[in-house]
Amino acid sequence: MRVVGVTPDAYGGPEALRLFELPDRHAGPGKIRIAVHAAAVNPTDTVVRSGLAHERQQGVDPPYVPGMDVAGVIDEIGPDTGTGLAVGESVMAIVMPRGSHGGYGDSIVVAPTSVARTPAGRTLVEAATLPMNGLTARRALDLLAVPPGGTVAVTGAAGTLGGYVVQLAKVDGLRVIADAAESDEDLVASFGADAVVRRGDDVARRIREVAPGGVDALVDAALLGALVLPAVRDGGALAAVRPSGGETERGITVHQVWVRDYRHEQAKLDRLRQLVEEGRLTLRVAGVFPPDQAGEAHARLERGGTRGRLVIRFRADPA
């Protein structure tokens, strides 16, 4: 099997990524194997590449392969695996990378609870952009538990995660105040945001102009941390998608969002599929790269400004 990864002696920038050939793996009991066609590129993947996740790799042999979501075709189902899925079906999966077990490869073995069918009428490249970010957005909103009719704010709303949060919040019956640069205002409005305010370090003030009493909760996809706390009402809540470690105020609860908590929530992943098919969740691909240009994909991601996910394509879609 072919993977894109990094060795500890080469941790660093995008140029650290290179191709490796590894022995083929097979689906053991309770597992399925996916012939990967596409793997999305996420900011979390750069943590593996740079070496910041090295402690999590202890006890496993390199190369260390990034990648948290894939789409492809089931080509092997292990014994004693009651999946409801069949060889030849197109599926997407969330992956928890460790060692050479990451999404940047042409084959991966996973638990069926991490897998769902791809949305009908969508390519595998498009489907690869959904599992990790979609489940992260779902986890954030579930932690906040704002009842229908409540108000939630979203920072980083033009990004992949933020866009999913806006759309899922609308599915949940919430009022949404989202931020955007001037060039992204129409995009964010198209996700269904009830109000769009200008992004920036003083976004909390602009959110308060729309919701003078403060919002019930806020999903901080832009990683602004304490800067956005003033936008939240007393006793409200904030969902942090990176460890915050900061002080809170006015009885505001900070929920730490870990997508790994939903890595076996197949029903939630399948619900995301249904929402895409219903036109209520938008898949966005910002660019497609072959495996030998994975480093270029990382470089483009780190330059910022992508709207949608970059994708590494290992195989063409099946005919």
pLDDT in tens, 6-48: 999 999 999 999 999 999 999 999 999 999 999 999 999 999 9
> What is the reported pLDDT for 97?
95
> What is the reported pLDDT for 245?
64
Q: How far is CA 141 from CA 19, 166, 177, 260, 274, in A?
A: 37, 10, 14, 15, 18
Indicate whether 75 pLDDT > 80: yes
- Please give the CATH topology (third level) of the domain spanning 2-130+283-313: Quinone Oxidoreductase; Chain A, domain 1 (3.90.180)
pLDDT in tens, 247-259: 788 999 999 999 9
* Type of residue found at 251: G
Nearest to 192 by CA among 177, 181, 207, 210: 177
pLDDT in tens, 134-172: 999 999 999 999 999 999 999 999 999 999 999 999 999
Domain ranges (residues) in the chain: 2-130+283-313, 133-260
CA distance 287 to 264: 28
Q: Considering the domain 133-260 in this protein, what is its CATH number? A: 3.40.50.720
> What is the reported pLDDT for 274?
98
Nearest to 118 by CA among 265, 268, 276, 264: 276
pLDDT in tens, 199-245: 999 999 999 999 999 999 999 999 999 999 999 999 999 999 988 76
CA distance 200 to 208: 14
Do the domains spanning 2-130+283-313 and 133-260 agree at the CATH topology level? no
**Tokens representing 13?**
């920038």
